[in-house]
Structure 1
Amino acid sequence: MRASERLAWAAGIVAPGDTDRVLEVGCGHGVLVSLLAARTARGQVVAVDRSATMTTAAQRRNTDAVAQGRVRLVTSTLLGADLGTTPFDVVTSFDVRAFWTPPAPEWDVVRRVLAPGGRVVVAFSVMGPGADERIRTAVRRLAGERGFTEHAVHRAGDLSTPSAAIELRAGHDG
């Protein structure tokens, strides 16, 4: 199955390095996991989804990468996930409302697992006029309460479903 254009766009924004550890929150069917794993030949993608149905689908899609240890799937909420002790270079999500819906304790987990100098990319579909700015404002506020600042905003209005991504970094570099 071909990756959706918006997830391919998001993978390009996340743009992990060859050895990066990436955490994807809300991995769904594992499409973005596949795209990210292809870019991290010597790194690892850890993907979390609260639905066993979704992580099973992601497992099927990424069988080889899982067998090679380049992808690890976790069926859990982010708050309950065992993410180990090795920090992540990048944390990303696509259309995970928890990152812009108060009280958003997920940001506390992200803060804890992100490596010094790491990045967070929160991507989302722009489903109507003004949605982009509303979500961006909410993400900035909720992430800002945990010490993150907006580093860049990316927009893809030319996709079949317009999308945006907010890139954040920890205020004191980690």
Structure 2
Amino acid sequence: MAAVPERIRQAVAVLDVHPTDRLLEIGCGGGVAVQLVCPLLETGTITAVDRSATAVERAVRRNAGPVREGRATIAQASFTAPELAAAGLSDRRFDKIFAINVNLFWTGPARAELALAASLLAPGGALYAFYEPPGQRLDEVATKVTAAFEAAGFTAEVSYAAPVVGIVGGLLI
């Protein structure tokens, strides 16, 4: 197995994947997190989306076994309701939704995307955002993501494990 970036190892550790979890990864890139998650699943599944066809091809190649076995689904789609519907993913519910180094949640309010995440979470589910920002931007990213989560009706718990910051959000009910 090729070297796994520390931010991905840390993210998967924080996810605390259970054998029956249903996970969704936003922006899966080449599928490294999928590769780490699949051995932790028994009856659970991981669905991963990326808007890049090249990234999806790499992710499918890297995870051919789990895809064939039905433990992993990898699709080309942006994280929008129409694209997830077109990919046949809009009717699924997930225990954990996560993104690693996806700018979406800290570069703007991400209202539509956070509402979409809320609609896709199973009761008791959580949204996870992990970042390894350049320079000394951990606090800035954590503050912006926390504000976006809270404005969208999520709780926000921040954890630091240099060089990564993680924000975990649960829905306020």
Normalised to the residue count of structure 2, the TM-score between the two structures is 0.91
The answer for unaligned runs of 5 or more in structure 1 is: none
Q: CA RMSD in A?
A: 1.2
- Deviations for 1:56-98, whole angstroms, at most 9, x for unmatched residues? 0000000000000000011010102232323100000000001
Deviations 1:90-113 (A, max 9, x none): 000000001112241211110110
Q: Is 1:81 the counterpart of 2:84 in the alignment? A: yes
Partner SS, residue 84 of structure 2: coil
Residue in 2 that maps onto 1:106: 113
Secondary structure, in 3 states, of the residue corresponding to 1:73? strand
Q: Which runs of 5+ in 2 are unaligned?
A: none
In the alignment, is residue 132 of structure 1 matched against residue 133 of structure 2? no
Shift of residue 30, structure 1, vs aligned partner: 0.2
2:159 to 154, 160, 170: 154
Alignment of 1:21-100 (within 5 A): 21-79=22-80, 80-82=83-85, 83-100=89-106
Query: 1:154 is aligned with what amino acid?
Result: S
The corresponding residue for 1:5 is 6
Whether contact under 8 Å (2:24, 2:96) holds in the other structure is: yes
The count of aligned residue pairs is 166
Q: Is the 8 A contact 2:7 2:131 kept in 1?
A: no
- Percentage of matched positions with identical amino acids: 33
SS of 1:81's partner is helix
TM-score relative to the length of structure 1: 0.90
Equivalent residues of 1:15, 1:39 under 8 A apart? no
Structure ranking higher in helix proportion: 2
